Structure 1
Amino acid sequence: MSSGEDHWLDACVAAWRNEKHAVERYLAAGGNAMRRLRDSEVVALNAKYSVDFFSPGLDLVNIALQQDSQDVLLLLLPKDAAQPPATGKEDMRQAWLDACMACMNSDLTPIHRFLRGGGSVSRRLLASEAKELNRNFPSCFNEGETLANLALKWDNEAVLSLVLANVTEAGDTKDQDVNGRAPEEKCQGREQQPVEEECEKAGIPYIAADHSYRESRSDSLGNHQLRRLWLQACLAAYDNSTNPITAYLEAGGERNRALTSQDIDSLKMSNCFRVGETLVDVALRRDSGHALACVLGETFVPQKKMCSRDSTYSDQLRSQAAADMDNLWLDACVGAVLGEREKIMAYVKKGGDLSRRLKAEEANLVNEESSVVACSGSVRARETLVDIALKYQRSEIIQLLCSDVVPDCARKRLPCHHFVMEASAISKEINANLELSVGSGLTKEMPFFQLNFAIPRELQSLPHDLRTRSLNEIIDCEARDTLEDENEPVINWCQALLPQHKLYPLYNGGMGDCLLHSASLVLAGIEDRNMAWRASLVRVMKTLDLYSRWREFRASEAALLGYRADDWQWKKEWSELIRIAGSPKMSLEQTHVWALAHLLRRPIIVYAIQNIRNHRNEVLGHAGHQGIYIPFLLDKSECCSDPLALAYVRGHYLGLVGEEKDVLTPTTLLLPITMHNGQRLPVQYLYDVERGSESSIIREWLRCRSVNGVACVEQSYNPRSARPEACQALMRRYVEDLRQRMTNPREDDESAGGDTIVEATL
């Protein structure tokens, strides 16, 4: 072994023991402070000192940080070591913090921005910076960590590659042109400004990255760890999650790898997997749309995927029971161009919104698929189906959209859509309530969080045909049929509760925002169009300590499936959930339902199908969305005891409401908390010690009753006169419209399609 190798190993031991002399000797000999331990070195050190401390990938700073070796840290990290040259700009510090956060979120854009702005890849986190980042993500960041350290901690190969690729390019920003692009021709044949000079000017000891580390890390990953990632990816494809699949693919795993009998034995789920299946096979069999998109290498934005329309991907998604509404929308636009009415019918029968407008990327896709038509110009953004049909003179499509052939379920006339001014007034007041919700209990200044929207009583006085049509305009007919399926009913299965306590799923077209739209509809009859709920939801997830209870609950679920996750993996998943909560059009999940219960300060009951089935109606597994979500972290005295009722079907959240019994007196609706098979709905996010006490917990938070042996909870509806004035105004306008339609039914028939088209074309 060479003297340089001896100095390196001695320095590692010295950092472990807090002895700085050997570290100084190693650095004086030209040693690389960012050099990382390899497998052979780890084996030698652990065997020599009879410890299990050293592991592949550690550098001197990591060793000193883990052992709290203050003398070595002072040597490696002087007080100004992590501070770049004074630029007088606070935005450089913010860019640095954003880049550190990006290492956790797998987002390369902030890192590119930091490096292009003159940031150094050898910069390390100060104690104050780590403390600031840990306010939102506790114990995730440590003093002295570099971007490379963070990328390794979060196992982000893409970030690590970017950092290592830029370690010698710190001076390139001076050679960039006015557009921010580095001219490659000028860089060729000319030495770049060395990083050593930059660090020397700033008074920072030069720390160069070890370029050979990435290859050694890939080698040290080994078949054992890759196989572990492979098994976790298989479970993720089964459960429709994406993080383990991403970790497996980033580690170099093959998408076409097939399950072996040994793999299935290790998973301990022989009934759920089959020999020879790939990740795509598992995802397709389980109808796991998120996992399927992740395996296929696409950035999946639920219900809004517009990145690709290649036939393979589209065929795979359309083979699932839950059809992709965005694909149907694009097909309908192509059908309007080509005059293919069957595509229009397929879209409207699925509840498609006739007033929907094309986005720019959607218009490009439509133009590509309908390129055979060259007349009248191309399809443009902001156009509706009617606009397209008029442009291409498709009279048969216009007649179709205006005729009674279009199903009633396709003509949605929610009160908030029809009376925009009244809905806007309600929205402003709800936004004010959201600002007050975090950090304070329910008060008289927050009336909207104690409301429940109900289908107006005036509908009952309409003639049967008109009542049916009016009801179908505000509910999701297809979802109702699925939820009331006679073989596996989810709602309205208890005859003792019908018809007085019947539930109706309100329609909402908020693809990706359906959870927040449905909650807003159930509260006040409007949708969350300005995305104010997302910002408040993020604030709740950052302010309240939801993480500890969430982690214990998720760890228990993982243990039942036979696998476990490390602390950094849980923190990464939690940070991803927060990121999704703040991203418009990103579909929310169970955790966000629980966070929403804290935001609204009231329990939420979710009714969902018990079993996941494929397109052949075969049971593939158990669904876990149904249950009772209680705001455990809030005081019961500061919360409303009236639960919010939601349904989850076809990957879509819908609000559940009842009918108004009397406009002058309060209405009480009974919500069953048992399923049709007699099992009680689970209480979500319990601590392990709370399991078995579900009945007492439900009684503490909700008002319980029993009807013919069926356990129920009460949900109260305020009389119409006791609701906020903005809600009363919206209901008055809607009721007036109903009475006008009852007085002139023929006029309503003629205007049903025309109103939609006028609204769509304005």
Structure 2
Amino acid sequence: MEDFWLDACVAAWRNETHPVERYLAAGGNAMRRMRDSEVATLNAKYDVEFFSPGLDLVNIALQQDSQDVLLLLLPKDAIQPQPTVTVLQMPRVPRGLRHAQGKEDVRQLWLEACLACMNSDLMPIQKYVRGGGSVSRRLLASEAKELNRNFPNCFNEGETLANLALKWDNEAVLSLVLANVSEGSDKKDSDVNSRAQEEKTQNDHKGEGRDLRQTQEECEQAGIPYIAADYNYRDNRSDAVGNHQLRRLWLQACLAAYDNTTNPITAYLEAGGERSRSLTNQDIEYLQMSGCLRVGETLVDIALRRDSSQALACVLGETFVPQKKICSRDSNYSDQLRSQPRADLDSLWLDACTGAVLGEKDKIIAYVKNGGELGRRLKAEEATLVNEEGNIVACSGSVRARETLVDIALKYQRSDIIKLLCSDVVPDCARKRLPCHQFVMEASAISKEINANLELSVGSGLTKDMPFFQLNFAIPRELQTLPHDVRTRALNEIIDCEARETLEDENEPVINWCPALLPQHKLHPLYNGGMGDCLLHSASLVLAGIEDRNMAWRASLVRVMKTFDLYSRWREFRAREAALLGYHAEDWQWKKEWSELVRIAGSPKMSLEQTHVWALAHLLRRPIIVYGIQNIRNHRNEILGHAGHQGIYIPFLLDKSECCTDPLALAYVRGHYLGLVGEEKDPLTPTTILLPITMHNGQRLPVQYLYDVERGSEASIIREWLRCRAVNGVACVEQSYNPRASRPEACQALMRRYVEDVHQRMTNPRDEEEGVGADTIVEATL
């Protein structure tokens, strides 16, 4: 049987049916998956890298477009090709001049709303909905292909706004999308779906006599896999996400199960990932956690071994329902729950969940009025209690662990509860309005200038023709003149509030820990929604207040890594790290790792690391200071390892006279890079911000990528490359902000438009607050 199975895998790869028929006739399971040993055998035998662990016969046939094998394995109605759906193109016009007039305008607003899900920008989604768009609309293949021209492999056919928001973990966007779910949306959705079905039916009649090859080519051009026309089947096989993207989510989920975090696991499961997927040697090697993770482990195995209770509840939340009477109203847990200081609120929370099941709004309002959090999630024991109170049978339709009130209301189709929970008002801390998102024309002008500077940077010195590389973005002075509450609301729109709390943690502060530097030299982490491109986005934001949306920085970063001799310093630095950890690598292994770093630098949406920070310092011709946590800890506050991202990155391979002495400041938190900026003191005069180069415990930030002979002389190197100053015994370096009038005109225009917009919005009632009903959660909270 084993030989029949291997022959069938090869046959599915080659589109040969006889070995597959022989394997099935012998009683073989068509859904059997390949093991690591089988993968190694076939790849070595045929000198390919095609086979991978977890593939079954259908997967292999789908990837190789083996039509005959698919006809043998699948029902005929599951592999009929879908005709292409032609969507007319329309010329692009400035966003401010677009209006929802006609189908083409709604389509344009729809595409912008899809892009907004990636950027956490709420304005395009609001415009789309107000223009008559349906929140349940799905991306057509041609629309996904158009969006993927600028953002490869980010959009897939059939996705809704909610799917995109979940994919990029944008809770503010998801809240806004759910806010527009109402009783009348079902009719609107059915109209949209019926029109789409009519288009498909018309195209089916037109294409009955077409040549098979022509149909296949048209499907490929439209982005529709010719052999995967059954959408339910495609969703179950996770084809819409893509193998590479799903593997990246899988690896992040494994790390989350190890560290007892839940967001990456949720993202992986929402993307269609399998809970039973197991780790391979390649996965562990890629994660560089050979001593922590084991081959063959699943997410459940990792969470159980690490005692990661939250991660375990996240993995089992949709498949595991506790047996009744394990935890009832008379159980010890119930008594303990109601005897705690917050017993009243916990009781109201359970009543609110029951109210969401039964459609009783008064219980939810009572919970919120007493200070309850809408984002609270059910524990496994609480889910059992709610199921018993609501007389719910423990089955697939019951309330489950980790569900929120919105999840419960959606499950039981309580449209009135959904409308109550998801009003049009989004919390201020969730609103993100970066200047570059609001004023696209000005941001585009800055981006063109920076891209031109990038072309000159590699191989030439810093000159007056490259003024953008000597800039630092600062929070405008005008925001400080606003009332305190208004200023706080405006700041929350451009900074990452959650990251700020982590970076300013009182137990292990990373920034703003020195009282002598506050408030004049306070640093703020700018919001950065880039997934995989966060390093380049953050550098561009602290440089000129825009994001690197056209991926020009990656190409320049690759040129730097290939042009300058970074390898020798990098290898000595990495060899020293390896020796401290007790292992040794050969020359070919170092070269292979360096080649992989260069490849990653040029691959969009691939996460960059500290080596790329050092290369970026050479590209921008200025030092970069990265602030980050010293130790990686689990949920029990145990140290798992040392975080090596923090430090000072100096462009050693350049002449100091050709470099700028003003460093860029970045933060590294939760595996994510953020830009750190100060506040402008006076628009008419230069502003100087002091950046500490020591940590809260008195240790100096390490200088990265030093030769062994340079170790011990870090202080003199810092003084040589940066302008140093001491404040109350704290060593600092200066970072200068040019007067606003001396900045490039495009930067001045962006700042001017942003300041005017903030004053206009903050001094007038917001449009989002208009029409809020008397029984909404917002009024209940007030």
Shift of 1:395: 5.4
Cross-structure match for 1:536: 556
Shift of 1:420: 1.7
Q: Which amino acid aligns with 1:700?
A: E
Shift of 1:747: 3.3
Shift of 1:537: 1.1
Asked if residue 164 in structure 1 is aligned to residue 45 in structure 2, the reply is yes
Distance 2:682 2:632 in 1: 39
Distance 1:321 1:546 in 2: 43
Distance 1:432 1:347 in 2: 47
Note the 1:297-316 alignment, pairs <5 A. 312=300
1:284 to 252, 258, 261: 258
Matched-pair contact (CA < 8 Å) for 2:432–2:494: yes
Note the 1:538-553 alignment, pairs <5 A. 538-553=558-573
Distance 2:744 2:640 in 1: 46
Distance 1:673 1:718 in 2: 22
Q: Which amino acid aligns with 2:766?
A: E
Shift of 1:512: 1.4
Which structure would you say has the larger Rg?
A: 1
Matched-pair contact (CA < 8 Å) for 1:287–1:321: no
Shift of 1:319: 8.3
Shift of 1:617: 1.8
Asked if residue 663 in structure 1 is aligned to residue 683 in structure 2, the reply is yes
Distance 2:732 2:592 in 1: 38
Q: Which amino acid aligns with 1:645?
A: A
Cross-structure match for 2:492: 472
Distance 1:429 1:443 in 2: 14
Using a 3 Å threshold, how does the CA distance of structure 1 residues 317 and 448 change in structure 2: closer, same or farther?
A: farther
Matched-pair contact (CA < 8 Å) for 1:490–1:676: yes
Shift of 1:318: 12
Shift of 1:402: 3.6
Matched-pair contact (CA < 8 Å) for 1:549–1:685: yes
Cross-structure match for 1:581: 601
Distance 2:571 2:510 in 1: 29
Matched-pair contact (CA < 8 Å) for 2:558–2:598: yes
Cross-structure match for 2:716: 696
Matched-pair contact (CA < 8 Å) for 1:483–1:649: yes
Matched-pair contact (CA < 8 Å) for 1:408–1:469: yes
Cross-structure match for 1:641: 661
Distance 1:659 1:318 in 2: 43
Asked if residue 617 in structure 1 is aligned to residue 498 in structure 2, the reply is no
- Secondary structure of the residue aligned to 1:521 is helix
Distance 1:546 1:501 in 2: 34
Q: TM-score scaled by structure 2?
A: 0.51
Cross-structure match for 2:98: none
CA displacement 1:552-587 (0-9 Å, x = unmatched): 000011111111111111111111111211222221
- Secondary structure of the residue aligned to 1:653 is strand
Distance 1:527 1:505 in 2: 14
Matched-pair contact (CA < 8 Å) for 1:348–1:410: no
Matched-pair contact (CA < 8 Å) for 1:449–1:600: yes
Matched-pair contact (CA < 8 Å) for 2:257–2:303: no
Shift of 1:411: 1.1
Q: Which amino acid aligns with 1:601?
A: R
- Secondary structure of the residue aligned to 1:584 is coil
CA displacement 1:381-419 (0-9 Å, x = unmatched): xxxx99x99xx8945445544454x43221111111122
Distance 1:440 1:574 in 2: 24
Q: Which amino acid aligns with 1:164?
A: K
1:413 to 422, 433, 436: 433
Using a 3 Å threshold, how does the CA distance of structure 1 residues 751 and 646 change in structure 2: closer, same or farther?
A: farther
- Secondary structure of the residue aligned to 1:655 is strand
Using a 3 Å threshold, how does the CA distance of structure 1 residues 316 and 740 change in structure 2: closer, same or farther?
A: farther
Shift of 1:725: 1.1
Using a 3 Å threshold, how does the CA distance of structure 1 residues 749 and 439 change in structure 2: closer, same or farther?
A: same
Using a 3 Å threshold, how does the CA distance of structure 1 residues 693 and 724 change in structure 2: closer, same or farther?
A: same
Note the 1:310-329 alignment, pairs <5 A. 312=300
Asked if residue 707 in structure 1 is aligned to residue 727 in structure 2, the reply is yes
Cross-structure match for 1:202: none
Matched-pair contact (CA < 8 Å) for 1:413–1:473: yes
Distance 1:743 1:718 in 2: 29
- Secondary structure of the residue aligned to 2:685 is coil
Asked if residue 730 in structure 1 is aligned to residue 611 in structure 2, the reply is no
Using a 3 Å threshold, how does the CA distance of structure 1 residues 575 and 159 change in structure 2: closer, same or farther?
A: farther
Matched-pair contact (CA < 8 Å) for 2:260–2:310: no
Q: How many residues align?
A: 451
Asked if residue 750 in structure 1 is aligned to residue 769 in structure 2, the reply is yes
Distance 1:714 1:461 in 2: 25
Matched-pair contact (CA < 8 Å) for 2:257–2:311: no
Note the 1:416-455 alignment, pairs <5 A. 416-455=436-475
1:524 to 534, 544, 565: 544
Q: Which amino acid aligns with 1:487?
A: N
- Secondary structure of the residue aligned to 2:538 is helix
Asked if residue 630 in structure 1 is aligned to residue 650 in structure 2, the reply is yes
Structure 2 residue runs of 5 or longer lacking an equivalent are: 1-9, 15-36, 49-60, 71-253, 266-274, 288-297, 320-352, 378-394, 399-405, 774-782
The CA RMSD over aligned residues, in Å, is 4.8
Q: TM-score scaled by structure 1?
A: 0.52
Cross-structure match for 2:533: 513
Note the 1:319-358 alignment, pairs <5 A. none
Cross-structure match for 2:200: none
Matched-pair contact (CA < 8 Å) for 1:349–1:410: no
Structure 1 residue runs of 5 or longer lacking an equivalent are: 1-111, 117-155, 168-175, 186-279, 303-309, 351-369, 374-384, 755-762
CA displacement 1:271-313 (0-9 Å, x = unmatched): xxxxxxxxx89982698999x99945797999xxxxxxx9738
Matched-pair contact (CA < 8 Å) for 1:349–1:407: no
Q: Percent identity?
A: 74
Matched-pair contact (CA < 8 Å) for 1:286–1:613: no
Distance 2:476 2:664 in 1: 18
More displaced 10-residue stretch of structure 1: 557-566 or 680-689: 557-566
2:575 to 520, 544, 555: 555
Distance 1:659 1:184 in 2: 64
Cross-structure match for 2:82: none
Distance 1:664 1:434 in 2: 28
Distance 1:512 1:631 in 2: 24
Matched-pair contact (CA < 8 Å) for 1:671–1:714: yes
Q: Which amino acid aligns with 2:466?
A: M
Q: Which amino acid aligns with 2:601?
A: A
- Secondary structure of the residue aligned to 2:766 is helix
Using a 3 Å threshold, how does the CA distance of structure 1 residues 285 and 414 change in structure 2: closer, same or farther?
A: closer
Shift of 1:622: 2.3
Using a 3 Å threshold, how does the CA distance of structure 1 residues 181 and 482 change in structure 2: closer, same or farther?
A: closer
Distance 1:562 1:649 in 2: 27
Shift of 1:538: 1.4
Distance 2:447 2:440 in 1: 10
- Secondary structure of the residue aligned to 1:730 is helix
Using a 3 Å threshold, how does the CA distance of structure 1 residues 180 and 619 change in structure 2: closer, same or farther?
A: closer
Matched-pair contact (CA < 8 Å) for 1:284–1:316: no
Cross-structure match for 1:674: 694
CA displacement 1:223-264 (0-9 Å, x = unmatched): xxxxxxxxxxxxxxxxxxxxxxxxxxxxxxxxxxxxxxxxxx
CA displacement 1:679-708 (0-9 Å, x = unmatched): 100000000011011011111111111111
Shift of 1:513: 1.2
Shift of 1:439: 1.1
Distance 1:535 1:319 in 2: 43
Using a 3 Å threshold, how does the CA distance of structure 1 residues 346 and 562 change in structure 2: closer, same or farther?
A: farther
CA displacement 1:590-643 (0-9 Å, x = unmatched): 111111111111100000111211112223332211100011111111111100
CA displacement 1:450-487 (0-9 Å, x = unmatched): 11000111111111111111111111111111111111
CA displacement 1:34-80 (0-9 Å, x = unmatched): xxxxxxxxxxxxxxxxxxxxxxxxxxxxxxxxxxxxxxxxxxxxxxx
Note the 1:29-40 alignment, pairs <5 A. none
Q: Which amino acid aligns with 1:750?
A: E
Distance 2:753 2:580 in 1: 53
